[in-house]
Chain A
Amino acid sequence: MSIDMAQFHQVFFEESFEGLDAMESGLLNLDLGDFNVEDINTIFRAAHSIKGGSGTFGFTAVSDFTHVMETLLDEMRDGRRKITQPAVDVLLGSVDCLRDMLQSIQNGSEVDQADVAEHKLALDNELNNAVPNSPSVGKQTAKASTVLPADDVKQIAGWVIAFSPHLHLLKTGNEPVRMFRELASLGHLTTTVDLQGVPNLYDLDPEECHLSWKLEVSGDIPETEIDEIFDWVEDDCDLAKQPIYQTPSESTPFHGSPEIAISHAVSRVTKDVSSELASSEESEANAADRKNGKKEDAKAAPKGSSSIRVDTSKIDTLINMVGELVITQSMLSLLGEHFELNKLDQLKNGLSQLERHTRELQESVMNIRMLPISFVFSRFPRLAHDISSKLGKKIELKLVGENTEVDKTVVELLSDPLVHLVRNSLDHGIEMPDVRLAAGKPETGTVTLEAYHRGGNIVIEVADDGKGLDKDKLRAKAIEKGLIDADAILSDKQTYELIFMPGFSTAEKLTDISGRGVGMDVVRRNIQALGGNIEILSELGKGSTISIHLPLTLAILDGQSIAVGDETYILPLGSIIESLHVKEDRLNRVAGKGETFLLRGQYLPIIRMHQIFNVLSAKTTKLTEGLIVVVEGQGLRCGLFVDDLLGQQQVVIKSLEANYRRIEGVSGATILGDGSVALILDIPGLVRLANQ
């Protein structure tokens, strides 16, 4: 039977990465003074699974590497080895190395052998450090010495086996008949049963085995094959086996009375059996390794498509929903077959049921894409550990709301911006311990990473109790860099916003941890690309809080539909500030700069939708007759001139780029209830478009 093992590789990689994450967080949380055996067990189990899987799927290098880690962890688990910080650090390094190895294999790229060798050496050193690993050395020499002389095996004509199961043998699920069938597959088998041990009927326990057998199997059968059959029961029976040699002059000792011979033979044979078993196991394992090794060379792991792990309860809900939907659908089609007007109420009921089920189905499907934010948060304890030890700071990282769920795409894209923010907090936010003490703060700084839902959004906050932002310093820097005028009047909020400007960096000197100059503006751009926004609050000496607001999903949008002539467009609800009729005296035409209108003392540009999209059927072209919708996007405000507001609805976003091409001012499209297509507007794009 040939099975393509490559089909399991993707799952193996995913679970291995999860296992590595578990090892990492386990190691980081390990309190050396007071730990639980279960803590070590969890770490051990992850290493053990990766070793088992990598061996089975042919990644020998990985399983060899993990083997050393496993041995180390096993000794720690058993209490044979003291757990020290250097050992934990070596293991953490190995986790990284292993992750790189697996990533390289997954991507089909070259494994960094030097790195692997370096970490393996560190592991080996650690392993040989406290407890010399003598048992395994001893075992190996023992194995090597038990190879039988070849000519012993050669002229065998068959075997005589005396097999007396212990009473409990059946209770291990082993079955003599099955063993005999296996023996019979090796050569001609004759069995002689010994009924002497069977008690009388009243004393007979039907679950016990009272029989014993004399088995004769003919053929040139290697002893290992016989051993393999009785391998599992060697402790549950008395077993003696003796080869029958081909030379007629040699007699088999069992020809007389096998029962007597058994008792002499048992101890010797079992000893031979166990040592030989060990050697056969070893050679099998080697053979398998070699085979698998070749396979690994020949075939680089394919780059898998992304997959998602879903709680089965979510799938069950989905199946329930579909069931409901099917029932409603059949009810409706039954109604439709013989429809009369007096059934109108029934129809309306059915339709509202359909609507409800569809909405619920939609929610359940969206729910499947939801992952707990812990997928992103989980990497931060390590980051905090590494950075704080590098900088000599004392930092406690608090994670709050790790189970808050977000769309998978958001989770993936959120990772990098968050790393940047947390790094900033650790590096620039939290002060050195002596500075903190001098300022009357606890020596250990706290960075809190919190996620929670608010409305249709998810909010993620990175808060630190560090030194906070110095407004004067920010201002001076911005003036120095020419980002603002020296006499610009800025509110607190606007001052903090300066750090999001391109080319702004407040660090007095650049470090390799953060502050490489590509900072916050990139973070903001990434967050905005996800349809979110980012805000900063700070108090000098007390700390800073950066909050990110993101939509729960990128696939569905809360939209406001607007009408321009026969066309319908969708505006993201979050971008709308207000809508109003504008009076003639508030309008202002600026030569060469288009039209503006006055809104509470501020002039806003007007974008005529019918002009931008060339809609000829527009109801009116007079600004005073239509509606102005005031919208905001990426700090730009403007008024969109439209015919009318239609209604609010959730729309499913279809990519224009994937189906057609990118169009400035349009972020996607959706299909409306009547089957027509409506474009979803992109406010910053529209503003750019209008300025051209």
Chain B
Amino acid sequence: MATILAVDDSASMRQMVAFTLKGAGYNVVEAVDGADALNKAKAQAFDCVVTDVNMPNKDGIELIRDLRALPNYKFTPMLMLTTEAGTDKKQQGKDAGATGWIVKPFNPDQLLKTIKKVMG
């Protein structure tokens, strides 16, 4: 089964995302911020990355930019969890190489639907 890297500095959001994805049968590895995620992504290959945007120690957009530069993550789906209603963050994310986004607040069903969109 596919393995997903879930990145969020908020423990409750991270747990909710991980719990939902695990319930749907995915393997999930959690990371607490961008720097943590980057280390984990270097040590292990992930099939998809779901990341929060606003985080200390490397935000989601920098994380996506750094990951895209790695040979293993050239084509990996990367989704941003964002509350920004404005297009600013989305555009920055797209420029960094994000595949798409999930707008907070979202419920588990919306999350799974979006994950299925990129994971098949």
- A591 CB-CB contact with B under 8 Å: no
A182 touches B117 (CB 8 A): yes
CB neighbours of A9 from chain B (8 A): 12
* Nearest residue, chain B, Cβ from A49: B10
- A202 CB-CB contact with B under 8 Å: no
- B45 CB-CB contact with A under 8 Å: no
- A440 CB-CB contact with B under 8 Å: no
Which A residues between 8 and 52 are near B, CB-CB below 8 angstroms?
8-9, 11-12, 14-15, 42, 44-45, 48-49, 51-52
* Nearest residue, chain A, Cβ from B90: A232
Question: Given that A173-B78, A181-B120 are known contacts, is A15 also in contact with B108, CB under 8 Å in the complex?
Answer: no
A235 to B23, CA, bound (A): 34
A73 vs chain B, min Cβ distance (A): 11
Per-residue 0/1 for A182-219: is the Cβ within 8 Å of any B Cβ (1 yes, 0 no)? 10000000000000000000000001000000000000
B104 touches A52 (CB 8 A): yes
A49 touches B75 (CB 8 A): no
Question: Given that A3-B19, A56-B105 are known contacts, is A281 also in contact with B10, CB under 8 Å in the complex?
Answer: no
A288 to B97, CA, bound (A): 28
A281 to B81, CA, bound (A): 14
Question: Given that A172-B97, A173-B97, A173-B99 are known contacts, is A1 also in contact with B24, CB under 8 Å in the complex?
Answer: yes
Per-residue 0/1 for B69-108: is the Cβ within 8 Å of any A Cβ (1 yes, 0 no)? 0000011111001010101000100100111110111111
Interface size class of A (residues with CB under 8 A): 35 or more
CB neighbours of A5 from chain B (8 A): 16, 107-108
Q: How many residues does chain B have at the interface if contact means C-beta atoms less than 8 Å apart? A: 43
A285 vs chain B, min Cβ distance (A): 7
A174 touches B12 (CB 8 A): no
A288 touches B99 (CB 8 A): no
A232 to B55, CA, bound (A): 22
B120 touches A178 (CB 8 A): yes
A551 to B106, CA, bound (A): 47
A48 touches B100 (CB 8 A): no
- A171 CB-CB contact with B under 8 Å: yes
- A170 CB-CB contact with B under 8 Å: yes
A5 to B12, CA, bound (A): 10
Q: Which of B12, B24, B55, B91 contacts A11 (CB under 8 A)? A: B12
- A624 CB-CB contact with B under 8 Å: no
Q: Which of A1, A232, A292 contacts B99 (CB under 8 A)? A: A232
* Nearest residue, chain A, Cβ from B48: A173
- A57 CB-CB contact with B under 8 Å: yes
Starting from the known contacts A3-B108, A173-B78, A288-B106, 14 additional A-B residue pairs (CB-CB under 8 Å) come to: A7-B19, A8-B16, A11-B11, A11-B12, A49-B9, A56-B104, A63-B105, A170-B75, A171-B74, A172-B98, A173-B77, A207-B74, A281-B85, A285-B103
Interface residues of chain B, those whose CB is within 8 Å of chain A, are 9-13, 15-16, 19-20, 23-24, 52, 54-56, 68, 74-78, 81, 83, 85, 87, 91, 94, 97-101, 103-109, 112, 117-118, 120
Query: What are 7 inter-chain pairs, A to B, with CB distance below 8 A?
Result: A3-B20, A3-B108, A5-B16, A15-B10, A52-B105, A172-B98, A173-B98
